[in-house]
Structure 1
Amino acid sequence: MAATISTHFSFTPHRLRQTVLSNSRSKAIRFPSTRTRRRMLVNPKFDAGSSLVARVCGDGGGSSDAFAHQSTSSIQNIEGKDGDNSSFGDGYVALFVRMLGLDQDPLDREQAVVALWKYSLGGKKQIDAIMQFHGCINLIVNLLTSDSTSTCEAAAGLLRLIASVNIYRDSVAGAGAMEEIIGLLSRPSLTPEVKEQCLCTLWNLSVDENFRVKIANSEVLPLIIKSLDDEDIKVKEAAGGVLSMLALSESSHEIMVEYGVIPKLAEALLKTDAEGSKVIRKEVKNALLEFAKNDYYRILIIEEGLVPVPMVGAHAYKSFRPSLHSWPSLPDGTEIEKTSKGPSRFGASELLLGLNVNGENLNVEEARINAIVGRTQQQFLARIGAIELEEETKSQPGNSSGWRLTLLPCMDGVARLILILELEDESAIARAAESIADASINEYMRISFKEAGAIKHLVKLLERDNDAIKIASTHALERLSLSNGVCHIIEAEGALRPLINTLKQKEISDTLLDKTLDLLARILDPTKEMRSKFYDGPINGSKGSSESVSRSDAANGFSGMSSHDSTSTTNSGVQMLDSAVISRLFEILKTSSLTLQRKAASILEFAAITSSVDTVDAANIESGLVAVFQQNVLKDTESDVKEEQPEQYALEVEEAGLAISAASRLLTKLLDSDCFRKRVDSAHFTVLLRKVLKSSIPVHCKDWVAACLVKLSSLSGFSKYFENPINVEVTLYETIPRLIEELKASFSPEAQEVAAVELNRIISEGVVDSTRAVASGGGIFLLVSLLEEGTARASEAALSILYNLSMDSENHPAIIAAGAVPALRRIVLAQRPQWTRALRLLRILPV
């Protein structure tokens, strides 16, 4: 490698050693005789421990704004003021490259790499002067294995600057620098200075996507993530920069998330400015924004306490008009009762009451405190025009739709989104509503939005003429309504009327129709009240959360929504479901997708309970139900989709089963009406449901089909002297498969015992083809496992079923293959209570 140096540099080792200090351990470089040479080679303004420029990259070795890492000190040139000094100092580069040779003394090699590192700080021209000697890069990489800390630091620092130039990045990686740095970072004891230079070298190498993938899939990734907890601020910045670059490659996201990078990045971003630096916050935020493009990873980010907020531009906030000189209220609109006899002359009582909301005399829960503080902070920033000013000056990545996002702590993010809903920019409003929908991933976030006043704003947006705003607000309310308490608030705020008005419109998009039906089905769910008694009621003698909050509000002077108001809104919702709305829902049953059919059937079930369907034409009802029961996916049993795309076919069958189950539940409720029974063709529905019962829809979707069939058969009046074929079909195609599914999926021995006993009862009664249904459904293997693993009663029932199955010789191979013979022999040898039946079964089997 030393032979690659130009031949016009002639020197001897003895003369070469005279060019360094007598004390070779010192980092300072002294040149022979003159101060001029010393000043040109080592600029006094530079120090190896000072802040360095992380990257000077770009096409052709120029600087790139996209990846430039600005430090507190600017780039300074090593050249002197005189033009000829540069060329004079460059003449010593060959000397120090030669001193890097493997045949040189380790102390001389250390002095040489330190000198070259300081010399390279001058910029690309100096780096070019070093890189003209092709073998020098290998010599520098070799020094990373040195035991000297200063040598490793200088070598890594020099590689860091060389890798900042695009044209030399491949040479650095090709010389094995990445592998040596990974090995160096794996050392148990490493100084922060060396660690910083190594990480910054990886940072510069990760500009190339191929190197990013290599770094992300190496053993160094956990070390980089761990460096975010380092005490040295420079090491943290370098680690954040590497992770920010690695996050640019979507292929690396999965392995980075597996190593737990999102909690570490979120923790670094949530720290205050006093605990972190702007560089760390910037790089960490950029990395998290890349992860936020994925729906699943965005949920992980929100769970860590960060909320993605759209960047709408500082100019959009100019339309914000806060309410001034008004009595203080909570962000959700709850008013605070006035206790003073008269108003203060200057409004001081109102102001002091608002400032004292977190005082000792006012018991406010944490969610409300965060809502008040967050609203105050964001409105203050909006008033002074400071929102998004800093973010707008920086380039930030956007998502797939071109929107720019930022990440804010939960308290500020929730308040910022509510603030955007009050602006005039329709595009900003729609984006904020979508962000609320995305952020409503758990109960804590839904309660936070409710306390911040999101419900009343979103309900008002339902009346807008803009379809984008309607879709976004409906989606947000639907996600918020997953909380039973929030769903009551949505209903109390008057969301039913605009939703029903939207549903009456003929020309609306499928997306808006889907979101509207989702929210209506949630609000009008007949089981909502029952669920509230279980989930919101007292637990272990404690008071429910909603009750305790309402009593706390009353004690502190807050006037909120009572349960009586919620009941009255439900009654008004019943009145809104007139014949026009119900007819529209039955039209959806006839013409829409499986998902829309299921949601429309759920809403119609609520209407059937309230007897609002009696005014609708029976022919319209019948045609809508028939359309659901006659699904094409159930007819085409030999379709190409089933053969070529089995997963898609299974999904379609699942959706069809859910729609049919909802329609069967609706028909069962409609049969309670005498008027409907007289007008509907029960025989036709019986034929359709019998076909559905024999179809391949999931077992859990057949329960309401079977219940509806039993009800239809009871109304048709079968004679008690003849066996009802419907009951036999229900047993074969619903009851037996359901019991086998319980044996397979249940982890409770008691539940398995109940299923086995019920299955034994059905077979003992001699139901036609019942044993064949058990064998074809895979019940033999489950029953054999119960012989030894189940309870005594379950084992006895399983043995009885297997004995009945053995009467058919076609089941013998399956019983033997399931391992029944060894289990039966153990029962006989142990002389358990049922050993005689086990012996008879052994004699029947061909063993």
Structure 2
Amino acid sequence: MALNIPTRLKFKPPNFLGPSKTSKNLIHVELFSVQKSKTNSISRNTNALYFPGLVRACSDDGQREIFVAKKTSSASDVDTLRDESSSSSSDGYVALFIRMLGLDNDPQDREQAVVSLWKYSLGGKQYVDNIMKYPPGTLNLIVNLLKSGSTSACEGAAGLLRVISSFNVYRDLVAESGAIEEITALLRRSSLSSDVKDQSICTLWNLSVDEKLRERMTSSEFISLLVKFLEDEDLKVKEAAGGILANLTLSKSNHTIMVEAGVIPKLANLLKADVEESKIIRKEARNALLELAKDEYNKILIMEEGLVLVPLVGAEAYKSFRPSLYSWPSLPDGTEIEQTSKAPSKYGASELLLGLNIDNKNVDLDEIKMNAMVGRTQQQFLARIGAIELEDDNKSKSESSSSERLTILPLVDGVARLVLIIGLEDESAIARAAGAIADACINEHMRISFKEAGAIKNLVQLINHPRDTIRLAVIRALDKLSISNNVLQTIEAEGVLHPLINLLKQYKSEISHSFTGLILNILTRILDPNREMKSKFYDGPVNESEKGSDVTRNFAAAITSSMRTIGRDLFDSSFISCLVDILKTQIPDLQRKAASILEFIIVNESSAEKIISSEIESGLETVFHQKSLQANEYDIEDEEPERHILELEEAGQAISAASRLLTRLLDYDPFRQTLSSHNFTKLLRNILVSNIPLQYKDWVASCLIKLTSLSNHNLESESPINIEVTLYETIPRLIEKIESSFSSEVQEAAVLELNRIVSEGFLDSTRAVASQGGIFPLVKLMESGSDRAVEASLAIVYNLSMDGENHAAILAAGAVPILKKIVLLEKPYWVRALRLLRNLPT
């Protein structure tokens, strides 16, 4: 303070944006006038301050996206600045202001010093270097000011840290000074000005460029804070928060915590907003979502928010687009709209924006149809004028892996863009767009949107494309679209069966198993034999199996009419032979689908003869010899339990489909005459006692009963087949209904049927009930069921109690207090309850 300090210092920091020396627009910065007073205080001349612009967050030493406000000055002012701004005097004042940051100084002086240094640092890197050449403790003093209650001090400190952190060389020093933690604490304050938030978040934006520093920002609390700032009223704050989130997504380890914090819906809203947001916030939101979309689960979450991932194929690819000539507007799916006026637009607007506006008030369109029409018009307009993907294409010229580039568009534009791409000539673009359509079909709304946008017709036409990559992508897209019954009808109407069947005939030599599976998926949905019959073939007591044949005949009559419109491709011998060959493979999923299609085809008598003569018996025998059922206990212990459960599930599905097919075939005399009944009976009995899921045993039991009934019409009640079906299919099925059904009527019917089986003295029936875990649901039903259900349950448990080995399970199920309650209330069946209590060791 003993120095002779001039009352006013003017200096001209260099303009690093590069204006010429003769430029009249120079940055004019005036430091505070500093003079010694009687009280040794520093007076502040606030009128001498000019506020240059703000330095944007950047990652390349502050040389990008830096905007500085300029103040025009006269030629004399320029000469004065040039004469008085010597490096020595400037350095002296920097040292003075740094000393004023000391904790022992007046808070207002510290505030004035940090604001002055902030304005000084805006001159460029050499001015920041002048500040940073002083001891490292300077940064700690600046960070300490973030705790100040003064808005100006917080803004100045955050602004100075923002400028310093914009240079790579100083980022680690800023982080080591505790800036991340202090700024995070500052941002948690309930009331904070927009300027302070802007400077603080932009500082973190600069620091988040460094991967090491991103790890220090990864916490659910901090990310939730950023998500809240995405809804801030100040656009600059939103941009900075989005920029930090985009940088955080560059570290894959952050994805889980960011998704759990609700980042995806907030970023998606920024892209879907009707009001045009700034380019910066939309760009950062898109970049963040694209990084998150590299995970398949996150990709689904993004698309559930109404966004579509679209491949960037390059502006050149759209030059092959040929707009249709003038015609009356039609819906993208081909539906014609009644024309009320044939006069074209006077200025040609109707030709350019065909279909964007429909004046016919009689046209009733739902929202999906209107969105499809608007989206098609917008995307075709961009393609016509050559503006589509223009910005992205120019930006990516330096990128090496352009084939992997994606963008994210709102649903309306994204769906229309993908449909537009599959109509181009670029083969790589077509394959990528078809794959994107398959990925986007995550729900019914998305599938309907693609149908209304006209994707089905183009995809069906591409099935016969010579390139395998395009065929595979197209079949995959149709597979995902065909999950919807609504879309499936359109796919079938476009004539998809003929090209698919032709492809499947190449199964042996040209197409892979995965490709075959996709084709069979579509065919099984179109040729679903259970569309009209959801009930099981066997649905009642063991001795009532004869009613199955009547159900089969009625079902056959129902689907025969639908086959007339399909064509003769299904009845081709080579196609049937191909399906039988698929049955002989060891892939349960393919076996199930092939058996389901054959079941549909067999309704036609002429095709039944072809199936019988195509070695169908050996194909069925292969299905019933599943590897997963032949594994011994030691093999199962060595395998992963989850994998074995999945194998049993797939095997059960294939066996159930083959059992249905065998049941249909048994209606034909030529097949019965050539069938080895003994062999198939043995196979089905082994499957019935296997570990496949119970729901797949019903058709096995039905087929087994029908098979034995045709070979021996005088079945006795104690036949081995009846006993095995009862023990391994009927009893487990009834117990499952008692245990899992929410309907009291279903539970009552099941327990009455189970009581009938047990009371008739079926061999080992009580042991089967106990081994299937039936004691616990029966005891529970005794407490909450209807009177008939309670009485039947009580009778079954009483029979089970005759075997001492069941006593422990009955007691563990809590039967004693329930039985005592029944006796005390003197229900009609209290006598049996009392006898049961006497049987138990209580």
Normalising to structure 1: TM-score of the pair? Answer: 0.85
2:547 corresponds in structure 1 to none
**Pairwise CA distance, 1:402:** 5.3
2:437 maps to what in 1?
A: 436
Residue 93 of structure 1 and its aligned partner are, at CA, apart by 2.8
SS of equivalent to 1:241: helix
Tell me which amino acid in the other structure corresponds to 1:667.
Answer: L
Q: After superposition, where does 1:804-823 map in structure 2 within 5 Å?
A: 804-823=799-818
Structure 1 counterpart of 2:779, one-letter code: V
Matched, 1:195 2:197: yes
Measure the CA separation in 2 of the matches of 1:19 and 1:45. 12
**Residue pair 2:501, 2:569 contacting (<8 A) in 1 also:** no
Q: Which residue of 2 aligns with 1:421?
A: 422
Whether the aligned pair in 1 keeps the contact of 2:770 and 2:806 (CA below 8 Å) is yes
Q: 1:624 to 1:828 in 2, by over 3 A?
A: same
* 1:497 maps onto 2:481 in alignment: no
SS where residue 365 of structure 2 aligns?
Answer: coil
Please tell me whether the aligned partners of residues 53 and 75 of structure 1 are also in contact (alpha carbons under 8 angstroms): no
The one of 729, 732, 736 equivalent to 1:741 is 736
Aligned position for 2:557: none
Deviates more, 1:148-157 or 1:89-98: 89-98
Contact 2:435 2:477 in 1 (8 A): yes
The corresponding residue for 1:799 is 794
Q: Deviations over 1:257-277 (max 9, x none)?
A: 2222211111111124x5410
Matches of residues 591-670 of structure 1 in structure 2 within 5 Å? 591-611=585-605, 612-616=607-611, 618=613, 620-640=615-635, 642-670=637-665
Change in Cα spacing, 1:732 to 1:85, as seen in structure 2 (3 Å) is farther
Asked whether 1:168 is paired with 2:170, we answer yes
Greater CA drift, 367-376 or 421-430 = 367-376
Compute the displacement of 1:425 (Å): 0.7
1:829 paired residue number:
824
Cα distance in 2, alignment partners of residues 697 and 654 from structure 1: 7
The one-letter amino acid paired with 1:710 is I
Is this contact kept in 2: 1:42–1:119, CA < 8 A? no
1:582 matched residue in structure 2: 576
Matches within 5 A, 1:336-351: 336=337
Offset from partner CA, 1:331-352 (integer Å, 9 cap, x none)? 2122345678x99899999969
Contact 1:306 1:408 in 2 (8 A): yes
Cα distance, 1:53–1:707 mapped onto 2, change above 3 Å = same
Per-residue CA deviation, residues 538-560 of structure 1 (Å, 9 max, x unaligned), is xxxxxxxxxxxxxxxxxxxxxxx
| Cα distance change of structure 1 residues 466 and 92 upon mapping to structure 2, 3 Å threshold | same
Q: Is residue 517–residue 600 contact of structure 1 (8 Å, CA) maintained in 2?
A: yes
Question: What corresponds to 1:555 in structure 2?
Answer: none
Distance change in 2, residues 1:791/1:153 (3 Å)? farther
Relative to 1, partners in 2 of residues 1:478 and 1:788: Cα closer, same or farther, differing over 3 Å?
Answer: same
**2:462 match:** 461
Distance in 2 (alpha carbons) for counterparts of 1:53 and 1:619: 75
Partner of 1:521: 524
CA deviation profile, 1:572-626 (whole Å, cap 9, x unmatched) = 3454331110111111111252221121111111112233131135462111111
Q: Output the aligned Cα RMSD.
A: 3.5
Q: Write the deviation string for residues 8-50 of structure 1: whole angstroms up to 9, x where unpaired.
A: xxx57x9999999xxxxxx98414479xxx9xx99989627x4
Query: Quick one: distance in 1 between partners of 2:111 and 2:56?
Result: 22
Q: Match of 1:444, as an amino acid?
A: H
The 1:399–1:597 alpha-carbon spacing in structure 2 relative to 1, beyond 3 Å, is farther
Cα pair distance change 1:134/1:575, threshold 3 Å: closer
2:584 counterpart SS class:
helix
Q: CA deviation at 1:461?
A: 0.2
Counterpart Cα distance in 1 of 2:621 and 2:333: 46
SS of 1:572 mapped into structure 2: coil
Q: Identify which range, 252-261 or 445-454, moves more after superposition.
A: 252-261
SS of the equivalent of 1:393 reads helix
The 5 Å alignment of 1:268-417 reads 268-272=270-274, 274-336=275-337, 357-394=358-395, 403-417=404-418
Counterpart position of 1:6: none
Find the aligned partners of 1:577 and 1:47 in 2 and give their Cα distance: 84
8 Å CA contact retained: 1:269, 1:284: yes
What is the CA-CA distance between 1:642 and the residue it aligns to?
4.0
Query: What is residue 54 of structure 1 aligned with on the other side?
Result: 57
Check if 1:571 corresponds to 2:565.
yes
State the match for 2:246 in structure 1: 244
Q: Is the partner of 1:609 in helix, strand or coil?
A: coil
**Superposition deviation, residue 452 in structure 1:** 1.4
* 2:688 and 2:701 in contact (8 A); partners too: yes
Residue in structure 1 matched with residue 261 of structure 2 by the alignment: 259
The AA in structure 1 aligned to 2:725 is V
Q: Which secondary structure state, in structure 2, belongs to the residue aligned with residue 714 of structure 1?
A: helix
Query: What secondary structure is seen at the aligned counterpart in 1 of 2:479?
Result: helix
**Relative to 1, partners in 2 of residues 1:477 and 1:111: Cα closer, same or farther, differing over 3 Å?**
same
AA matched with 2:224: P
- 8 Å contact from structure 2 (residues 337, 363) kept in 1: no
Structure 2 residues without counterparts, runs of 5 or longer: 10-28, 37-41, 72-77, 535-559
Partner in structure 1 of residue 182 of structure 2: 180
How far, CA to CA, are the matches of 1:756 and 1:666 in structure 2? 31
Write the distance in 1 (CA, Å) between the matches of 2:306 and 2:127: 47
Matched residue SS, 2:57? coil
CA distance in 2, matches of 1:472, 1:504: 19
Q: How does 1:13-52 map to 2 (within 5 A)?
A: 29-32=31-34, 47=51, 50-52=53-55
Aligned residues: 780
Letter in 1 for 2:206: N
SS of residue paired to 1:616: helix
Aligned to 2:23: none
Contact 1:706 1:734 in 2 (8 A): yes
| 8 Å Cα contact 2:340-2:360 kept in structure 1 | no
Q: Which residue of 2 aligns with 1:681?
A: 676
Q: What is the DSSP-based 3-state SS (H/G/I as helix, E as strand, rest coil) of the residue aligned with 2:89?
A: helix
Deviates more, 1:650-659 or 1:309-318: 650-659
Partner Cα separation in structure 2 for residue 376 and residue 569 of structure 1: 39
Q: Distance in 2 between matches of 1:173 and 1:751?
A: 67
8 Å contact kept, 1:192–1:232: yes
User: Shift of the alpha carbon at 1:829?
Assistant: 3.2
Question: Could you say which residue in structure 1 is the equivalent of 2:24?
Answer: none
How far, CA to CA, are the matches of 1:399 and 1:830 in structure 2? Answer: 83
CA distance in 2, matches of 1:425, 1:45: 60
1:234 Cα offset (Å): 0.7
SS at match of 2:221: coil
- Find the aligned partners of 1:390 and 1:644 in 2 and give their Cα distance: 53
AA aligned to 1:510 is H
Mark the CA change 1:46 to 1:123 in structure 2 (over 3 Å): closer, same or farther.
Answer: farther
